[in-house]
Structure 1
Amino acid sequence: MSHLWSRTPVTPGGRLGRAAQHPGRCDSRYLQRRDTLVKLARGHRVGDPSPTVDYTEDEHATWRTVHGALGRAHRAHACREVLDAAEAAPIPADHVPQHAEVGARLKPLTGFEFTLAGGFVENRRFLGSMERGYFHAVQFVRHPSVPLYTPEPDVIHDVFGHGIHLASPGFAELYRMFGRAATRLTTPEALDVISRVYWFTLEFGVMAGAGAGTNPDEVNEVKAYGAALLSSYGELERLGACEVRELDVRAMVATPYRVSGYQPVLFGARCMNHLTDTLAGFLEDFDDDTAGRLGLRPVPGDRS
């Protein structure tokens, strides 16, 4: 599984087409800027300082637009644990933060820092680095013409999604669980299995059902906690249209994930303790042979 995806967006201005039609895919000036920042990650060693980026006023303006929209969407659609974590998270209102600025806020809270990525990061490195408190994050900003949609994760996704998670000791421990499991594994097949569970929980997970979250007002509501949802205005607004299934790691592995377009199926935990206990029970003893013993057979993702 890739740790990049593209989604067909719904924005206040209407519906856009497929990711390939996005303005960021055909704007030569934007692509040059993006590629310049991506190249900085070549040869980057996990844990080395990320280079400082001189962000433009247009990039800061995009950040401010998304900050306002996602702030409102989080208050309406994010679970209480996310809202609490966001109060301490490194999310300035007026500018795109540097990786070092993010790390300076996260490290005293949970021991995590951002380490530089240019885009796709293979599973062993991406997941395994989490054990040591490093999360791979990019530095480029989405195209300014469609600020509420990006066809690939950008720095806004990383900060508004994973940056919020990593300000919370409870969420940060879940990242470390995936990291500890990944470092024990030697086969791509086993790494793919835990990557799919990561996808449907820390990227696209929701709290749902009686007792969802810790707020009595959230009972029987679907509330987002996954980073991909937290950084996507459109997906937060359409949570009620998703099919939400009971949290089940076997079902996650057997469920096709959608790379292009919104996720039609989400998995809901009853509360944070339910999520933590489920992931701990699955990941703590997971090894290269677990998938075979349990009959877990990942299905291909939908790339249409």
Structure 2
Amino acid sequence: MSHVWSRTPVTREGRLGTAAQHPGRNDSLYLKRRNAIARLARGHRVGEPSPAVEYTEAEHATWRTVHGALAGAHRAYACREVLDAAEAAPIPADHVPQHAEVSERLKPLAGFEFTLAGGFVENRRFLGAMENGYFHAVQFVRHPSVPLYTPEPDVIHDVFGHGIHLASPRFAELYRLFGRTAMRLDTPEALDLLSRVYWFTLEFGVMAEAGSAGRTEGPPKAYGAALLSSYGELARLDRCEVRELDVHAVVATPYRVSGYQPVLFSARCLNHLTDSLAGFLADFDDDTGDRLGLRPVPGDRS
């Protein structure tokens, strides 16, 4: 599951096209650069330092463009817990940071560091590393021609989107919860079910916002890292079908790998999210799917 999706954005001018038509998939010079950076992850062991990357001015400019757009979108669409975490997160606005640059300031906040990925990381390694405070992150930057859309997670998604979570002890503990659960599992089927819960919460979760009188006010706000790193997806939250968070329903819901997510699950608050995940995952094991009559539901990978 980890870090594999492609979203087809919609603009006022219409669809930009499928992931296969994205400039980043057809620009030979970009692909050479992207692949050279990704190759640095070959043989990397969890916890080893990530090699430094000498980013170009064009890559720094892409980071600045996306960071500026997302910072404004977060104020409009992100939940209060995310905004508070972003205040503490050591994410620079003016340049693409090195993993070590962010990790050394994240670790004192909530105990997490980035560990290197080149792209897809299988579920057990990706989720399991979180138990010990390591989050897999890539280092390459999205194509500069469409800076607000990427057909695959890049350093902006990983370091900016997830870095906000990992500056918060409460969010970081949820990552560890997924890590502890993953390390108890052996079967691909159980890991797939677990990854589905992760997908609809820490990647694509939304949360109700309570007003001064304690009543929910307005539409749910984003907290999932995939939403926090997608300007287009944040702007269309009001067009999604939002269901109340029920983890049993989550594992039976297909997710879209291509295109925006049509269905999102909303926690009532961060305590509700924490209690729901902790309750469901406390006894989660390789036989949970059979006991509950659950089966992995293939995602839309078109």
Check conservation: 1:207, 1:213, Cα contact below 8 A.
Answer: no
Does the residue aligned with 2:71 lie in a helix, a strand or coil?
helix
% of aligned pairs identical? Answer: 83
CA separation in 1, counterparts of 2:194 and 2:204?
Answer: 14
CA separation in 2, counterparts of 1:11 and 1:41?
Answer: 34
Does the residue aligned with 1:245 lie in a helix, a strand or coil?
strand
Q: What are the ranges of 5 or more consecutive residues in structure 1 without an aligned counterpart?
A: none
Deviation at 1:217, TM superposition (A): 9.0
Which moved further from structure 2: 26-35 or 248-257?
248-257
Query: Which residue is 1:184 aligned to?
Result: 184
Deviation at 1:181, TM superposition (A): 0.3
Q: What are the ranges of 5 or more consecutive residues in structure 2 without an aligned counterpart?
A: none
CA separation in 2, counterparts of 1:215 and 1:234?
Answer: 31
CA separation in 2, counterparts of 1:13 and 1:184?
Answer: 48
Deviation at 1:251, TM superposition (A): 1.0
Query: Which residue is 1:72 aligned to?
Result: 72
Amino acid at match of 1:37: I
Map 1:23-38 → 2, pairs under 5 A: 23-38=23-38
Query: Which residue is 2:226 aligned to?
Result: 228
Check conservation: 1:81, 1:214, Cα contact below 8 A.
Answer: no
Query: Which residue is 2:125 aligned to?
Result: 125
Say whether 1:163 aligns with 2:167. Answer: no
- With normalisation by structure 1, the TM-score equals 0.96
Amino acid at match of 1:292: D
Q: Deviations over 1:95-154 (max 9, x none)?
A: 000000110111000110000000000000000000000000000000000000000000
Which moved further from structure 2: 8-17 or 19-28?
8-17
Check conservation: 2:139, 2:155, Cα contact below 8 A.
Answer: yes
CA separation in 1, counterparts of 2:239 and 2:265?
Answer: 13
What root-mean-square deviation, in Å, do the aligned CA atoms of Structure 1 and Structure 2 show? 1.6
The counterpart of 2:272, out of the listed 274, 283, 290, is 274
Aligned length: 302
Query: Which residue is 1:204 aligned to?
Result: 204
Q: Deviations over 1:187-220 (max 9, x none)?
A: 1111111100000000000013xx5599969624
The counterpart of 1:296, out of the listed 287, 290, 294, is 294
CA separation in 2, counterparts of 1:295 and 1:284?
Answer: 18
Query: Which residue is 2:235 aligned to?
Result: 237
Deviation at 1:11, TM superposition (A): 4.5
Query: Which residue is 1:112 aligned to?
Result: 112
CA separation in 1, counterparts of 2:137 and 2:43?
Answer: 15
Does the residue aligned with 1:44 lie in a helix, a strand or coil?
coil
Q: Deviations over 1:80-109 (max 9, x none)?
A: 000000011121110000000110111000
Query: Which residue is 1:97 aligned to?
Result: 97
Indicate how the Cα distance of structure 1 residues 297 and 213 shifts in structure 2: closer, same or farther if over 3 A, else same: farther
